[in-house]
Amino acid sequence: MGSLPADVHGLINVLERLAGSYRLSDVYRALHYVAVETALLLRGIRSVTPKPPEESVLRLLLSLSRERLREPLRGVIAWMDKVLSGRAPLVVREGSVEELARLLSESVKRPVDKVVAHDGLSLLEVVASAAYLRSRKAFHAILVDYVFVNPPGITRYVSEQTTRGLCQSLTGVAQMIAQRLGARDYRRVSYVDSVVHEHGEAGWSVFLEHLDVERIAEELGELASRGCLLVFSDHGYDVVLDEEGGLYVTHGYKLEAGEGRVILPLSRFSFVLVVFPAS
């Protein structure tokens, strides 16, 4: 469990302004592009360049996004690397669901009505959705200051930590957190994880074509329209560079399992978002 770096908040602030002027799907694609581009540069990989978008609007947005998003993304990626290398301090015991539930019960002051376990939701979908809900839908969308670190980047690491009497599943974890917060409803959503499994290995660009971030944000807004919603994930996904210079998406990638290199280690981190109507 780590503390949220300031660059994440800076990222949302920039995205909020962009989402107020451009389609969320375009903002999300530009965010992904700049994140991968920045990660490649940070890792000294200059021989691989993501294919630039062909649409004129997206090309203009990408240029603007490079100016505004690169620095906060650089900070976030560097923070992730430090956490995974053990060089960044963790606030409490690493990867403890029980500890996360306790901290949420102490820090989330607003009564929570619904808890959603969003399987595979990464930081990039979280910040894009938060920006959209703030700028277009008049919601408060607040990232909680606690980051759950999932070292292997797989669901089982989280689901096996449910308390006695609850199902050892991601739904069981949602129920566990809902009970601690006094929420009346809980559920699991598997959309992102299913897109990763169905399209991730076909390539990073293919994954982006199939993942509908507006669907995610709209569904979160609908769930939060009748009360306060708390969203968390079990893991995100990794963007991996294969030995032929191609990029693809998976989660829980192990370097010893192949000749690839993780460019964005998003599967190791889970973030908590609280959403409720502004009025």
What tens digit of pLDDT does each residue of 61-117 get? 999 999 999 999 999 999 999 888 875 444 334 456 666 666 676 767 789 999 999
pTM reported for the whole predicted model? 0.89
pLDDT at 101: 65
Q: Take residue 178 and report the two structure tokens written for it.
A: 């809902």
Sites in the chain below the pLDDT cut of 50: 1-2, 88-94, 152, 154-156, 159, 161-162, 165-166, 255-256
pLDDT at 235: 84
**Sign of the CA dihedral 256, 209, 159, 129?**
positive
pLDDT at 130: 97
Kindly provide the b/e burial profile for residues 4-20, where b requires at least 16 CB atoms within 10 angstroms of the residue's own CB: bbebbebbbebbbebbe
Asked whether the beta carbons of 32 and 167 are under 8 A apart, the reply is no
pLDDT at 175: 87
Q: State the chain's mean pLDDT as an integer.
A: 85
* Cα 130 from Cα 125, distance rounded (Å): 8
**Strands of the 146-149 sheet, one edge to the other:** 2-3, 146-149, 269-270
